[in-house]
Amino acid sequence: MCSMPGLQLILAATLLAVPLTPAVAQTVASATARHASPPNIVIIFADDLGYGDLGVYGHPLIKTPRLDRLAAEGLKLTSFYASAPVCSASRYSLLTGRYAIRAGINGALMPESKGGLGADETTVADILKSAGYRTGMVGKWHLGNKPGFFPTEHGFDSYFGLLYSNDMIRPWVQTDVPMRLYRGTQELPGEVDNAALTERYTEEALAFIRENKSRPFFLYFAHSMPHVPLGVPPRFAGKSANGRYGDVIEMIDWSAGQVLDALRDAGVEGNTLVIFTSDNGPWMDMPPRMLVEPRIVRTDAGSAGPLRGSKGTSWEGGTRVPFLARWPGHIPAGAVGTDLARTLDILPTIAGIVGAPLPAGRAIDGQDIRAFLEGRAPSPDEWFFYYDSGGRLEGVRDRRWKLHLTFPEKAEPAVALFDLSVDPSERWDVAAEHPEIVARLNERMRQFAAEVAR
């Protein structure tokens, strides 16, 4: 990440150069006192949102003014990775700081799946609840839908949402399990209105903020969209220049603005860390089973921008996703970070912020990146391992280079090397020119696979 001069911290430099007036001194003192208390933490997690889907990441048609403003008031990362290119595995890592392969969660759990997030796992919510936080989740869980696997059994004081993806009903998934919303562990009656889902989630998130503004709180707000089938109410329909998909993204932008306004109105905006990111890349290669009727069409998928590949793949477009963060007084406004960072880092970073120990006796793959987010140091992350949607290890990157394996049927893996510092689109294979880098990265992959297998 850029050094402090590179971040253009003009305001900070000005305050240091000019004597503080009594009014300014009082404001600074108030801000310092406010930040001495534990910060509230809000994570907004989109589903299948691509690297190129937001205005601040270069989309030419979709308007996202509130998320663009969030970036302007905080930090945008350009090399941030979800840990897996598919739902359940990615969400496992967000909450535990561990690659999902360690728990045998390799893809997306289905309505009939008997497993989920194990009772022996420690989540971000567990850590924050033990630190005195009120913890709430709204939205898509996708880490088990049987007793023992519910969010309220993994550190969350409250839950409202869907237990898995909103497409897991007929005709797209051959299941007889009805899709229902849940509050806590209780199934709510009635069919799910897909068009009303984002608004309903948003209402629940705002209520949680209002009810807990006088104490430290953690809100995990996991949207069901832009995962298909897309749904928007009439007031959002037809508004975007990018069709139905654009309508959904602009509604998510509206929802983020509602959350940010609620933090301001509650008087806690200045002491709240807000993170916005996605679980994986866009589903641009939907299988035929998803296109059996017009409620889902190919243009209902987003954009990976300049990146190759999409959801389900180990190309950059499968796992490199938007990441925005704002924490006034800590994260410099308008910062852009290019260093490697991962959803795996969120648990150790939050644990570091609240002074909580990491879970004992567990391999934690993430690192505390607070100093990086605050512009005080480079990211400590050195490695990222790429898995496909079935849990097969297909690549590794360090701070510059990516080794990628392709597995043709009945043939030896094809090895490619990309210099991500100049080729994030993975267009030019330079393996032949750098055999020593190929060997080094291949050995690191072998070591990690052996570690996970132990």
Catalytic positions are 87, 142
The CA distance from 273 to 443, in Å, is 38
Q: Is the four-CA dihedral 283, 285, 289, 295 of positive or negative sign?
A: positive
Nearest alpha carbon to residue 388 among 318, 287, 303, 438: 318
In what side-by-side order are the strands of the sheet with 40-46?
A: 186-187, 181-183, 158-162, 134-139, 217-222, 40-46, 272-278, 323-326, 75-77, 335-337
Nearest alpha carbon to residue 391 among 85, 47, 81: 85
Q: Would you tell me the crossing angle of helices 243-265 and 65-73 to the nearest 10 degrees?
A: 50
Q: Which residues contact 333 (CB under 8 A, 6 or more apart)?
A: 11, 72, 73, 74
Phi, psi of 433 (to 5 degrees): -80, -15
Per DSSP, the three-state class of 80 is strand
Per DSSP, the three-state class of 130 is helix
Q: DSSP letters along 377-445, please?
A: S------EEEE-TTS-EEEEE-SSEEEEEE--TTSPPEEEEEETTT-TT-----GGG-HHHHHHHHHHH
**C-alpha distances in Å from residue 17, one per residue of 14, 24, 32:** 5, 14, 19
Phi, psi of 153 (to 5 degrees): -105, 10
Q: Name the helix (H) or strand (E) containing 77.
A: strand 75-77
In what side-by-side order are the strands of the sheet with 414-419?
A: 384-387, 393-397, 401-406, 414-419
The CA distance from 324 to 298, in Å, is 28
* Cβ–Cβ < 8 Å for 323, 345: no
Nearest alpha carbon to residue 372 among 408, 335, 401: 335
In eight-state DSSP terms, residue 374 is T
